[in-house]
Amino acid sequence: MSIDSLQVMGRAITLAKQAGKAVKSNPQVGCVIMNNGRVIGEGYHQVYGQSHAEVNALNSVTDKSLIPGSTAYVTLEPCNHAGKTPPCSQRIIDEKIAHVVIGCLDPTPLVDGKGLQYLKANGIKTTLLDLDECKALIRPFVTNQLLQRPYIIIKYAQSKDGYIGQLDKQINITSMDTNVLTHMWRGEIDGILIGNNTALIDNPSLTTRHYPGDNPLRIVIDYSHKIPKTSKLLSDGLPTLIINGDKSESSDQVKYLKIPKDKLYTDGMRLLHQRGIYKLMIEGGSKTIQGFVDANVWDEARVITSNRNLNEGVPAPQIRGKQVHTLTLSNDKIITLHNA
């Protein structure tokens, strides 16, 4: 595969990411259509339940006579089943596209290679790139489909000497630039979860106030009912979900979800998925994060290390995974890990 073709797929990946969380439990997918080295159409899956990337790309082509014989670059294997929309593989065949370059296969049961085989059986040339960048795009989708739980992102900041904070004291160890970035992350997820100790010590808002975006649903684990009604999470008018062991009730702002403590990582995560939490960020504290790590119920970790020493305090969680990305921002080092 030539570097030009990889660049075209890179453009399709960029398009796919524009959807953000609007695709809900569907995958982020981008598509570019080329004819004689020229882009004639582009598209991506924009909104859950609406047209897929291939259809949007085909619909964007101004001169439809250029479609037959063209090459479609799509980040994910085209579907071969009818769901909320018709199958994309059939549309590709009907439009007489000659060649489909696929970023990665779809491992979920409804597709799982069937789209690729259907294209081949109908005379369409196919090339599978099997790119890690394309697989990364569909990690949340695959987790949602195969495990029926949210894609879980663990996020925490630690000092240079390995402490997540100080005992019973709110402290910020990262730069303002990093804080803005983390608020951008909040706008990309459906739910944000903390334990009751973090709620008591920090009295957080857990909103996107430093970056434009929709606030995620705030979720607090509080089996001991320690959070006072005067806390921001229970009094600022924004929705909060309290995971507890003995009641399920709701008011205008606060809903209680009853989940047995020993079922938090299984039934609890499935219930959150059923409530539309497709991406969930665990923000603290150390005990809550370590619980998800020890249960091996996590998919991605974003670990921020500042250049500041605390000398003492609460030890940071211990987590291991495949390092996939590193960023330095205002002297803070941010490492992204994937759970294999």
| Catalytic (active-site) positions | 54
CA dihedral 294, 157, 238, 266 (to 10 degrees): -10
Instruction: Determine if the peptide bond prior to 313 is cis (ω within 30°).
Output: no
Tell me how far apart the alpha carbons of residues 292 and 139 are, in angstroms, rounded to a whole number. 18
CA angle centred on 252, ends 249 and 257, rounded to 5°: 30
Asked if residue 306 lies in contact with residue 159, where contact means CB atoms within 8 angstroms, the answer is: yes
Containing 56, the helix (H) or strand (E) segment is helix 53-60
Q: Quick one: angle between helices 53-60 and 3-17, nearest 10? A: 110
Tell me how far apart the alpha carbons of residues 85 and 163 are, in angstroms, rounded to a whole number. 49
Beta strand residue intervals within the chain, DSSP E: 30-35, 38-44, 71-74, 99-102, 125-128, 151-158, 163-165, 191-195, 217-221, 240-244, 254-258, 279-284, 300-305, 314-315, 322-329, 332-338
Determine how β-strand 99-102 pairs with β-strand 71-74.
Answer: parallel
